[in-house]
Amino acid sequence: KAGVTQTPRYLIKTRGQQVTLSCSPISGHRSVSWYQQTPGQGLQFLFEYFSETQRNKGNFPGRFSGRQFSNSRSEMNVSTLELGDSALYLCASGGGTPNTEAFFGQGTRLTVV
Amino acid sequence: AQSVTQLDSQVPVFEEAPVELRCNYSSSVSVYLFWYVQYPNQGLQLLLKYLSGSTLVESINGFEAEFNKSQTSFHLRKPSVHISDTAEYFCAVSPSGNTGKLIFGQGTTLQVKP
């Protein structure tokens, strides 16, 4: 079956703009999580959505938000972009229950200039 | 709160030599433990996981990891590495079994030399 699909793969934005990233999970998966990966901070958990509800949230400012649709597809939005938001953003999908594996997409590389 | 420490940022090793990538975690609750691998410009792939039961877990490509509760460690080992194992390896914990929230270590770059 198809894996986790993230679009777009690469994105260049200007400081102050906003951006929306998309993630289509594996069919049947109800949990979608987002992570930010940077050389300095490593992999950091942003938030998890399960059945359209935010179930967990990491320690990021309110400029980072997300949502999940009824078909489990998820979007992540970052407003008022800062240079430090440049990162690889990874989406993971899973069954949302213990013992279920998280499958990762290839990520969206965001560059803020 | 949970945290994960990968003790080595880079591990250089010659092909066919054994390797150990070290991981220690801190948690006040039971956790699930994972090792993920990331190749350049790729997402993360699950290498192996410890949920319960036998403390030694193995992957299909020759890696193994042992859960040591007393030392709060989950070190990754391979008896003989290949060039193709060159990648970044991440140890992660999932608090309370929710694999939707993973706490990652800083990663270890394994550099296999010919």
- Predicted confidence (pLDDT) at residue A10 exceeds the cutoff of 70: yes
**Closest chain A residue to B43, measured at CA:** A106
Q: What band does A1 get if pLDDT is binned at 50, 70 and 90?
A: low
The three state secondary structure string of chain A is CCCCEEECCEEEECCCCCEEEEEECCCCCCEEEEEEEECCCEEEEEEEEECCEEEEECCCCCCEEEEECCCCCEEEEECCCCHHHCEEEEEEEECCCCCCCCEECCCEEEEEC
Name the stretches of chain B with pLDDT < 50. none
- The count of other CB atoms within 10 Å of the CB of residue A72 is 22
Q: Best mutation site among A31, A97, A104, A108 for testing chain B: the one with the most B CBs within 10 Å?
A: A104
- Per-residue pLDDT at B96: 66
Minimal CA–CA distance to B20: which of B11, B31, B30, B29? B11
- Mean pLDDT, rounded, for A21-39: 95
Q: How confident is the model at residue A2 (pLDDT cuts 50, 70, 90)?
A: confident
Q: Give A50-107 pLDDT, tens digit per residue.
A: 999 999 999 999 999 999 999 999 999 999 999 999 999 999 998 667 667 889 999 9
Cβ atoms of A34 and A107 within 8 Å: the answer is no
Q: How many CB atoms lie within 10 A of CB B78?
A: 20
Write out chain B residues lying below 8 Å of A44, CB-based.
104
Token pair of A38 as six digits = 């940077």
User: Residue holding tokens 């193709």?
Assistant: B84
CA-to-CA dists, residue A75 to A27, A67, A109, angstroms: 16, 6, 15
Using a CB–CB cut-off of 8 Å, the residues of B that contact A are 32, 36, 41-46, 49, 51, 90, 92, 97-107
